[in-house]
Amino acid sequence: MPELSSPAQEWMQDNRKLIRLSLPQLQLTQVSLTVPPHHHSILRDISFTVAAGERLGLIGISGSGKTSLLRLLNRLAEPMTGTIAFAGQDIRQLNVQTLRRQVMLLPQEPRLLGMKVRQALTYPLTLLRLSTAEIQTRLDYWLAQLGIPSDWLERDELQLSVGQRQWVSLGRAFMLEPQILLLDEPTSALDVGRSEHLLQVLKQFQGTVILASHQLELVQQLCGRSLWLRQGQIFQDLSEQEVDWQAVRSIFHQQEQAISAEWS
């Protein structure tokens, strides 16, 4: 992609250089999360680090805490105890909007906030005061990279399927060039072809990716390391070579069946 110049872009480039020199990029220390009114424990004593450019998978059955952990990383939720540092700085000391531009979360059910696709893709860049030419350059690049048809641009979210909205939201995130991309079940509404396409795009993405997914094949193919969450705690922290994926699939299937039996 061509080099883009603006104060915001220069700030991001300088900050990326800083992060490359001062690992880890993210550091969580004894982080716990509870919810009122009875202070039910969601996450307990979570500690790990993430290096710049790493691909980290979060795996575990439903309710294990994957989404809650992602929400903590860009302050959509606040821990009860412990600290989270981004580039060596406590994220509570950072401007929330600045943090969320650099540590960006794509929820499982993305919204276009009433905008048409073109505006949804470009509006965040206007807030960064990028020039019209720079915004158009990024738009053209990511429309081509993701294969977003031009006839989508004037549609609103009611005219898009869930999978199409998910795809547009991915484009919006890539256009902002965050340092860390937090993905919560990004292929849940995508067909096989788009899921494979996303995998290739993520492999080329220059930033860090933290991926929470039930699609273990995606985690296996993308991530060099996986955190296995069980009942709100880190059960295992393994490199891709150390994970016995067949055994993991079997265990998850058994656990999901046990939960279904309890509810029925």
DSSP strand pairing (208-212 vs 103-106):
unpaired
User: Is 78 part of a structural domain of the chain?
Assistant: no
Query: Above 70 in pLDDT, residue 158?
Result: yes
pTM score: 0.88
Q: Which two tokens stand for residue 84?
A: 């989270």
Query: Above 80 in pLDDT, residue 211?
Result: yes
User: Is 47 part of a structural domain of the chain?
Assistant: no
User: Is 24 part of a structural domain of the chain?
Assistant: no
Domain residue limits at 240: 52-60+95-226+233-259
User: Is 27 part of a structural domain of the chain?
Assistant: no
For residue 109, name the pLDDT band (cuts at 50, 70, 90).
confident
Between 83 and 259, the higher pLDDT residue = 83
For residue 4, name the pLDDT band (cuts at 50, 70, 90).
very low
Taking alpha carbons only, the member of 171, 40, 190 closest to residue 108 is 190
User: Is 20 part of a structural domain of the chain?
Assistant: no
User: Is 89 part of a structural domain of the chain?
Assistant: no
Burial degree of 90 (CB within 10 A; 0-12, 13-18, 19+): exposed
Q: Which CATH number characterizes residue 190's domain?
A: 3.40.50.300
Residue 58 pairs in a beta bridge with 212, 227
Task: Tell me how many domains the chain contains.
Answer: 1
User: Is 255 part of a structural domain of the chain?
Assistant: yes
User: Is 136 part of a structural domain of the chain?
Assistant: yes
How much is the pLDDT for 22?
Answer: 54
Return d(Cα 64, Cα 67) in angstroms, integer: 9
How much is the pLDDT for 2?
Answer: 42
Over range 90-96, report the average pLDDT. Answer: 96
Return d(Cα 245, Cα 130) in angstroms, integer: 44
For residue 113, name the pLDDT band (cuts at 50, 70, 90).
confident
Kindly report the number of other CB atoms within 10 A of residue 114's CB atom. Answer: 10
- In the chain, the amino acid numbered 239 is S
DSSP strand pairing (180-184 vs 233-239):
unpaired
